[in-house]
Amino acid sequence: MSPRWEARADVIVVGTGVAGLTAALEARELGLRVLVITKAAASAGNTRWAQGGVAVVLPDEHDEGDSVTAHIEDTLVAGGGLCADDAVAAILADGADAVTRLRELGAVFDPGADGNLARTREGGHSAFRVVHAGGDATGAEIERALLSAAQDGRVPLLENHIAVDAVRTATGAVVGLVVLDQNGVPGVVSAPAVLLATGGLGQLYQATSNPEVATADGLALALRAGAPVADVEFVQFHPTVLYTGPGARGRCPLVTEAVRGEGAVLVDALGERVMKGVHPREDLAPRDVVAAAITRRMATEPGGVGDHVYLDATHLDTELFRRRFPTVLAACQSIGVDPSADPIPVSPAAHFACGGVASTVDGRTGVIGLYAVGEVARTGLHGANRLASNSLLEGLVVGARAARAIAADIAACLLADPRAAVRAPLPTAPVADRDVLQRVMSRYAGIGRDAEGLAVVGSVLDVSAVDTVLKTKQRVEDAALTLVARALIAAASARTESRGCHVRTDFPDSDPAWQHSLAVRLNPSGQPVLAAPTSLRSAA
């Protein structure tokens, strides 16, 4: 490909969520020339939608008896035996400093009555240690603060520029990116370091809490650049997002657990209770239990309607609902549902990718010049199941650490010279129809998987994917979804046990023999295959 435009920097940051902007700001502080690109508007990522907060143990503001050690312990328990202990310890130990830096940049967290930061407690936490902003608008405040710090002119930011593929040297080092600009015109940005902060993969599924940009692009780009991904079979589902109709795309609004806390109950199309007899806490059972029960009811039980059930809140006090849940009420009204008269249609939705590009706590991948941070990366912090509110923290901590690692690698002359780039044509990759892909992924690779269903997904993708030149944004995204779906299927098929977010109906128990992560990489013909576990150690 002859690029129609070019740009140069020391480091290219892809993505403007918490992880990318933190890295870009730190890199700038270290004197590096930074270029940030993002494929949509700057605030379009998952960060802006984060609600609950940031889990952190602050030195002088914590519950009696709480400590970083206790936070580590909670994280390891949630992670189902698959966290990397050293990564958990390193990331959580840096949490307080990372939050302090963020506040210095201007982020305002909610104060408590005692003048300290207000702290709340979420599922899996043994103490009140989740700090939040704007009530339930933590992500929006973090995004605002980081963006305003970045938009002072010293961090060039290209919106509506999508990273397509890595530019590499003959020996495989990454030295830049092929990018389509806002008019779809291909160009090349060159730098000895490329940092992926491209977020999650919720759009693999029909229903997701993630916005439209969460199409797994960074995972696909890293795989094609030779990096392994790991733990990709572990996708965390939220039990209840608003079901907005068949074929609905994009972000589904969350219907917070607190609505069930106030007494709403899940029912199927016949009005039968979904959670009755499933768990002693019924509708307030843990998230994974509720999500799995809804999925079973949708798929198999009499009264199942295929793609959603209902949350019946009609008996709740109308005034209380309006006061406590204005966001949920507005979302319901936008699809013509009046929660005081109609049951709210809901379904489980893909929420968070626990796995990602295998990387160290400094963002280094196994490929020279390629770094990954935030939700796109797998550092080992989350294991088989993320502890609530650990992901914003990871973006803050690892984003800054990766910038320092890049500065150190440049200073030590460890990276390749962009002038050694091998110019390649716009890549061609298999692309499946997105609706078909989302339908089979939701039906067979969501909550409750088995060998037969996973094989169906594999066959459907094999039959329907067509080799396509990645010359539009839509094609880049659909190719990423196709490749990452295949990688996820490879790992989920191999893992013949249930653990954390990975629920196999044909292997319902955890198996100690599987207490290790699975890495996936591309074979020479571009197929995702399981990689040796040592490939996780080589991400250094």
Ligand X SMILES: Cc1cc2nc3c(=O)[nH]c(=O)nc-3n(C[C@H](O)[C@H](O)[C@H](O)COP(=O)(O)OP(=O)(O)OC[C@H]3O[C@@H](n4cnc5c(N)ncnc54)[C@H](O)[C@@H]3O)c2cc1C
**Distance of closest approach, residue 535 Cβ to ligand X, in angstroms:** 22
> Which one, 37 or 539, has the nearer CB to ligand X?
37
Which residue stretch of 66-74, 105-113, 197-205, 228-236 sits at the interface with ligand X (rule: CB under 6 A)? Answer: 197-205
- Smallest CA-to-CA distance from 393 within 47, 120, 122 is with 47
Which residue stretch of 39-47, 273-281, 357-365, 450-458 sits at the interface with ligand X (rule: CB under 6 A)? Answer: 39-47
Q: With 0-12 CB in 10 A as exposed, 13-18 as middle and 19+ as buried, what is 126? A: middle
Which residue stretch of 14-22, 183-191, 270-278, 421-429 sits at the interface with ligand X (rule: CB under 6 A)? Answer: 14-22
Which residue stretch of 15-23, 61-69, 420-428, 454-462 sits at the interface with ligand X (rule: CB under 6 A)? Answer: 15-23
> Which one, 25 or 531, has the nearer CB to ligand X?
25
Tokens of 37: 């690109």
Pairing of strands 11-14, 193-196: parallel
**List 206, 379, 385, 391, residue binding ligand X (CB under 6 A):** 391
Instruction: Report whether 492 contacts 449 (CB < 8 A).
Output: yes
Sheet strands side by side (includes 309-312): 235-242, 344-353, 309-312, 265-267
**List 57, 90, 91, 163, residue binding ligand X (CB under 6 A):** 163
**Distance of closest approach, residue 22 Cβ to ligand X, in angstroms:** 8
Q: CA 122 → CA 54, 350, 387, distances in Å? A: 10, 19, 9
**List 75, 206, 295, 389, residue binding ligand X (CB under 6 A):** 389
Residue 392 engages ligand X in binding (rule: CB under 6 A)? yes
Residue 91 engages ligand X in binding (rule: CB under 6 A)? no
Query: Residue 262: which residues within 8 A CB-CB, separation 6 or more?
Result: 313, 316, 320, 321, 324
Cα angle: 234, vertex 240, 242; to 5 degrees:
120
Pairing of strands 119-120, 130-131: antiparallel
**List 46, 240, 438, 468, residue binding ligand X (CB under 6 A):** 46
> Which one, 254 or 278, has the nearer CB to ligand X?
254
As a whole number of angstroms, the distance between CA 47 and CA 391 comes to 10
Residues touching ligand X, count (CB under 6 A): 44
> Which one, 254 or 407, has the nearer CB to ligand X?
254
As a whole number of angstroms, the distance between CA 238 and CA 134 comes to 22
Residue 471 amino acid letter: K
Residue 111 amino acid letter: P
Residue 186 engages ligand X in binding (rule: CB under 6 A)? no
**List 45, 187, 226, 418, residue binding ligand X (CB under 6 A):** 45
Tokens of 80: 């189902």
> Which one, 101 or 296, has the nearer CB to ligand X?
101
Residue 52 engages ligand X in binding (rule: CB under 6 A)? yes
Residue 40 engages ligand X in binding (rule: CB under 6 A)? yes
Q: Please give the helix or strand (H or E) that residue 7 lies within, else none.
A: strand 6-8
Residue 239 engages ligand X in binding (rule: CB under 6 A)? no
**Distance of closest approach, residue 26 Cβ to ligand X, in angstroms:** 14
> Which one, 157 or 519, has the nearer CB to ligand X?
157
Residue 482 engages ligand X in binding (rule: CB under 6 A)? no
Tokens of 466: 């067509």
Residue 47 engages ligand X in binding (rule: CB under 6 A)? yes
Tokens of 274: 């979904």
As a whole number of angstroms, the distance between CA 507 and CA 498 comes to 6
**List 44, 137, 298, 518, residue binding ligand X (CB under 6 A):** 44
> Which one, 267 or 406, has the nearer CB to ligand X?
406
**Distance of closest approach, residue 478 Cβ to ligand X, in angstroms:** 12
Which residue stretch of 47-55, 112-120, 256-264, 461-469 sits at the interface with ligand X (rule: CB under 6 A)? Answer: 47-55
CA atoms within 13 A on the CB side of 410: 22
The CA-based dihedral angle spanning residues 444, 445, 448, 454, taken in that order and rounded to the nearest 10 degrees? 60
Tokens of 380: 């080992």
Which residue stretch of 34-42, 182-190, 291-299, 434-442 sits at the interface with ligand X (rule: CB under 6 A)? Answer: 34-42
**Distance of closest approach, residue 122 Cβ to ligand X, in angstroms:** 8
- Give the torsion sign (CA, 144, 480, 362, 157): negative
The CA-based dihedral angle spanning residues 493, 499, 502, 503, taken in that order and rounded to the nearest 10 degrees? 90
- DSSP conformation class of 449: B
Tokens of 249: 């795309």
Residue 187 engages ligand X in binding (rule: CB under 6 A)? no
- Smallest CA-to-CA distance from 446 within 344, 282, 294 is with 294
Q: Return the active site residues.
A: 287
Residue 374 engages ligand X in binding (rule: CB under 6 A)? yes
> Which one, 256 or 493, has the nearer CB to ligand X?
256
Tokens of 395: 């973006």
Q: Which residues between 341 and 360 bind ligand X (CB under 6 A)?
A: 352
Instruction: Report whether 349 contacts 249 (CB < 8 A).
Output: no
Kindly state the greatest CA–CA separation across the chain.
68
**Distance of closest approach, residue 180 Cβ to ligand X, in angstroms:** 9
Q: Which residues between 258 and 317 bind ligand X (CB under 6 A)?
A: none
> Which one, 35 or 441, has the nearer CB to ligand X?
35
**List 61, 66, 233, 375, residue binding ligand X (CB under 6 A):** 375
**List 28, 39, 382, 486, residue binding ligand X (CB under 6 A):** 39
Dihedral class, residue 364 (left if φ above 0, else alpha if ψ from -120 to 50, else beta): beta
Q: How many CB atoms lie within 10 A of CB 246?
A: 11
**Distance of closest approach, residue 286 Cβ to ligand X, in angstroms:** 17
> Which one, 132 or 297, has the nearer CB to ligand X?
132
**List 11, 12, 15, 383, residue binding ligand X (CB under 6 A):** 15
Instruction: Kindly list the residues in this chain that would bind ligand X in the complex (CB under 6 A).
Output: 14-20, 37-40, 44-47, 49-54, 138-139, 162-163, 197-200, 209-210, 213, 217-218, 254, 352, 374-376, 389-392, 395
